[in-house]
Structure 1
Amino acid sequence: MKILLLWICLFQNDSTSKILPEIKIKGRSLETIEDHLQKSGTVSLLKRGVYAAEPFLNGMSSERSRITLDGMMIYSACTDKMDPVTSYMEVTNLQKVDIHSGNGPSTSGGMDLIRRKSQFAPSNLKTTILSGFETNNKHKSLGIQSSKSSEHFYIDGDITWRNAENYKAGNKREILYSQFSKINGGLNIGFQPAKHHAYEVSMIYDLAQNIGYPSLPMDVAKAEAFIGSFQFNKHHFHPVFLDWKTRIYHNRITHIMDDSQRPNVPIRMDMPGWSKTSGIYSSLNGVKKAHSFKGLVHFHTNYSLAEMTMKSPGEKDMFMYTWPGINTSEWSLSLDDKVYLQKHLYLNANLSLSVNQQKMMKDFEGLYIFFPEASSSQSRFLTNTTWGISYEGNPYHFQFSLSYKERAPSVSEAYGFYLFNSNDGYDYIGNPDLPKENSYSIELAQALSKPHYQLKWDNQFFHLNNYILGQVKENLSPMTLGAQGVKIYAPLDYALLYRSNASLGIPFLSEWYWDLKALFQYTYGKDYGTLPFTPPLSYSSSLSYAKNRWLMKAEMEGARSTHEIPSYSIFHTEILYKSKDWQIKLRGENLMDQYYTTFSDWNKLPRMGRNLIINVAWSF
Structure 2
Amino acid sequence: MSSIHFFRLLILVSLLLATLPGFAQEANQIRGRVIDHRTQEGIANANVLIQGTLRGAATDENGHFIISNVPAKEVIVLVIKHMGYAEATKSLKRAQAGWENVEIALVQTALRVVNEVVVMAERSNEAYLQNALRSNPDGGGRILRDLPGVQAVARAFVAFDPVIRGMKEEQINVTIDGIKVEPACHGRMDPATAYVDMAELDAMTITKGPFEVAGLGAGLGGRIDFAKLRPVYQDQNALRLTGVAGVSYNSVTAGDKEHLRLGMSTTRLGAQVQFSRHVGDNYQSSRSEVPYSAFENRHLDAMLGVRLAKHHELRLAHYRSDGEDTGYPALPMDTRDHKARLYGFDYIASNGPLAVAQFYLKVYHNNISHVMDNLNRPAAMMREMTVLGETETTGGDVAAEWRFAQSDFKVGLNIWRVFATARRDMLTKSTGMRMSSLMWPDVTMNSAAAFAELGHDFNAAWRITAGTRVANVESRAAALSPQFLAFHQFSNADLAETDIDANVRLKYHAKPHWTMTLSLGRGVRPAGHKERYGWYTINQFDSYDYIGDPRLKAEKNVAVDLALHYQAEKIQLRVQPYYNRLQDYITGDVREGLSPQSMGARGVKIYTNLGSARISGVDVDLNWQLPAHLTLFSNFSFAEGRDLEREAPLPEIPPLSTLTGLRYVSPGNLFWLQCETRAARRQDKIAPFAGENETPGFTVYHLRGGVRLGNSLQLQSGIENLTDVFYHEHLDRNDIPQPGRNFYVKSVLHF
TM-score (norm 1): 0.94
Return the match for 1:316 from 429, 433, 437: 433
Return the match for 1:545 from 647, 661, 664: 664
Report the AA paired with residue 192 of structure 2: V
For residue 96 of structure 1, what is the aligned residue in structure 2? 203
Q: How many residues end up aligned between the 2 structures?
A: 618
Cα contact 1:24–1:97 (8 A) shared by 2: no
Partner SS state of residue 174, structure 2 = strand
CA drift at 1:386: 1.4
What is the CA–CA distance in structure 2 between the aligned matches of 1:500 and 1:29, rounded to whole Å?
A: 24
What is the CA–CA distance in structure 1 between the aligned matches of 2:553 and 2:135, rounded to whole Å?
A: 46
C-alpha spacing 1:444/1:416, structure 2 compared with 1 (3 Å):
same
1:599 aligns with 2:730: yes
Cα contact 1:51–1:211 (8 A) shared by 2: no
Q: Could you give the per-residue CA deviations for residues 434-475 of structure 1, whole angstroms, max 9, x where no partner exists?
A: 011100000111111234533211112111100000111122
Partner SS state of residue 175, structure 1 = coil
Cα contact 2:149–2:637 (8 A) shared by 1: no
What is the CA–CA distance in structure 1 between the aligned matches of 2:518 and 2:162, rounded to whole Å?
A: 25
CA drift at 1:577: 1.9
What is the CA–CA distance in structure 2 between the aligned matches of 1:301 and 1:308, rounded to whole Å?
A: 24
Return the match for 1:488 from 565, 586, 606: 606
1:75 aligns with 2:182: yes
Return the match for 1:177 from 275, 292, 295: 292
Partner SS state of residue 86, structure 1 = helix
Report the AA paired with residue 362 of structure 2: R
What is the CA–CA distance in structure 1 between the aligned matches of 2:629 and 2:135, rounded to whole Å?
A: 23
For residue 9 of structure 2, what is the aligned residue in structure 1? none
Partner SS state of residue 163, structure 1 = strand
1:371 aligns with 2:481: no
Partner SS state of residue 170, structure 1 = coil
Moved more, 324-333 or 44-53: 44-53
1:609 aligns with 2:740: yes
What is the CA–CA distance in structure 1 between the aligned matches of 2:268 and 2:301, rounded to whole Å?
A: 21
Partner SS state of residue 370, structure 1 = helix
CA drift at 1:16: 11
For residue 417 of structure 1, what is the aligned residue in structure 2? 535
What is the CA–CA distance in structure 1 between the aligned matches of 2:393 and 2:222, rounded to whole Å?
A: 21
1:59 aligns with 2:173: no
What is the CA–CA distance in structure 1 between the aligned matches of 2:271 and 2:472, rounded to whole Å?
A: 37
C-alpha spacing 1:23/1:570, structure 2 compared with 1 (3 Å):
closer
C-alpha spacing 1:297/1:149, structure 2 compared with 1 (3 Å):
same
Which has more strand, going by share of residues? 1
For residue 463 of structure 1, what is the aligned residue in structure 2? 581
Cα contact 2:131–2:633 (8 A) shared by 1: no
CA drift at 1:520: 1.2
Following superposition of structure 1 onto structure 2, how do residues 521-536 of structure 1 map, counting pairs within 5 Å?
A: 521-528=639-646, 529-536=648-655
1:113 aligns with 2:243: no
Cα contact 1:24–1:95 (8 A) shared by 2: no
CA drift at 1:591: 0.6
Which has the greater radius of gyration? 2
Cα contact 2:148–2:621 (8 A) shared by 1: no
What is the CA–CA distance in structure 2 between the aligned matches of 1:16 and 1:399, rounded to whole Å?
A: 19
1:515 aligns with 2:636: no
Residue identity (%): 22
C-alpha spacing 1:255/1:392, structure 2 compared with 1 (3 Å):
farther
Report the AA paired with residue 420 of structure 2: S
Return the match for 1:343 from 460, 474, 488: 460
For residue 227 of structure 1, what is the aligned residue in structure 2? 342
What is the CA–CA distance in structure 1 between the aligned matches of 2:275 and 2:527, rounded to whole Å?
A: 36
What is the CA–CA distance in structure 2 between the aligned matches of 1:30 and 1:513, rounded to whole Å?
A: 18
CA drift at 1:493: 0.3
Structure 1 regions of 5+ residues with no counterpart?
Answer: none
What is the CA–CA distance in structure 1 between the aligned matches of 2:482 and 2:175, rounded to whole Å?
A: 33
Return the match for 1:569 from 680, 691, 699: 699
CA drift at 1:503: 2.7
CA drift at 1:4: 8.5
Q: Could you give the per-residue CA deviations for residues 27-83 of structure 1, whole angstroms, max 9, x where no partner exists?
A: 999623413333321320111331211111222111101112222222110110100
What is the CA–CA distance in structure 2 between the aligned matches of 1:329 and 1:221, rounded to whole Å?
A: 30
CA drift at 1:508: 2.1
Report the AA paired with residue 267 of structure 1: R
Moved more, 55-64 or 336-345: 336-345
1:329 aligns with 2:436: no
Moved more, 45-54 or 215-224: 45-54
Partner SS state of residue 367, structure 1 = helix
What is the CA–CA distance in structure 1 between the aligned matches of 2:319 and 2:172, rounded to whole Å?
A: 22
1:37 aligns with 2:144: yes
Cα contact 1:438–1:464 (8 A) shared by 2: yes
The RMSD of aligned alpha carbons is 2.7
Partner SS state of residue 477, structure 1 = coil
Report the AA paired with residue 249 of structure 1: Y
1:164 aligns with 2:273: no
For residue 287 of structure 1, what is the aligned residue in structure 2? 403
Report the AA paired with residue 297 of structure 1: L
1:246 aligns with 2:361: yes
What is the CA–CA distance in structure 2 between the aligned matches of 1:617 and 1:513, rounded to whole Å?
A: 24
For residue 582 of structure 1, what is the aligned residue in structure 2? 713
C-alpha spacing 1:232/1:519, structure 2 compared with 1 (3 Å):
closer
What is the CA–CA distance in structure 1 between the aligned matches of 2:285 and 2:599, rounded to whole Å?
A: 29
Cα contact 1:92–1:160 (8 A) shared by 2: no
Cα contact 2:452–2:469 (8 A) shared by 1: yes
Q: Could you give the per-residue CA deviations for residues 506-550 of structure 1, whole angstroms, max 9, x where no partner exists?
A: 322231122232221100113442122212222232111111222
CA drift at 1:369: 2.5
Partner SS state of residue 31, structure 1 = coil
Q: Could you give the per-residue CA deviations for residues 325-345 of structure 1, whole angstroms, max 9, x where no partner exists?
A: 100111011222332121142
Moved more, 543-552 or 112-121: 112-121
CA drift at 1:298: 1.5
Return the match for 1:505 from 600, 617, 623: 623
Cα contact 2:262–2:273 (8 A) shared by 1: yes
What is the CA–CA distance in structure 1 between the aligned matches of 2:284 and 2:131, rounded to whole Å?
A: 30
Partner SS state of residue 343, structure 1 = coil
Return the match for 1:453 from 551, 568, 571: 571
Return the match for 2:192 from 85, 103, 107: 85
C-alpha spacing 1:26/1:517, structure 2 compared with 1 (3 Å):
closer
What is the CA–CA distance in structure 2 between the aligned matches of 1:616 and 1:435, rounded to whole Å?
A: 51
C-alpha spacing 1:374/1:504, structure 2 compared with 1 (3 Å):
farther
Moved more, 324-333 or 523-532: 523-532
1:214 aligns with 2:329: yes
What is the CA–CA distance in structure 1 between the aligned matches of 2:220 and 2:377, rounded to whole Å?
A: 38
What is the CA–CA distance in structure 2 between the aligned matches of 1:482 and 1:202, rounded to whole Å?
A: 41
Partner SS state of residue 378, structure 2 = coil
Partner SS state of residue 227, structure 1 = strand
TM-score (norm 2): 0.78
CA drift at 1:23: 7.8
C-alpha spacing 1:12/1:503, structure 2 compared with 1 (3 Å):
farther
Report the AA paired with residue 608 of structure 2: A
Q: Could you give the per-residue CA deviations for residues 336-386 of structure 1, whole angstroms, max 9, x where no partner exists?
A: 233212114221222111111111011422321221126321111111111
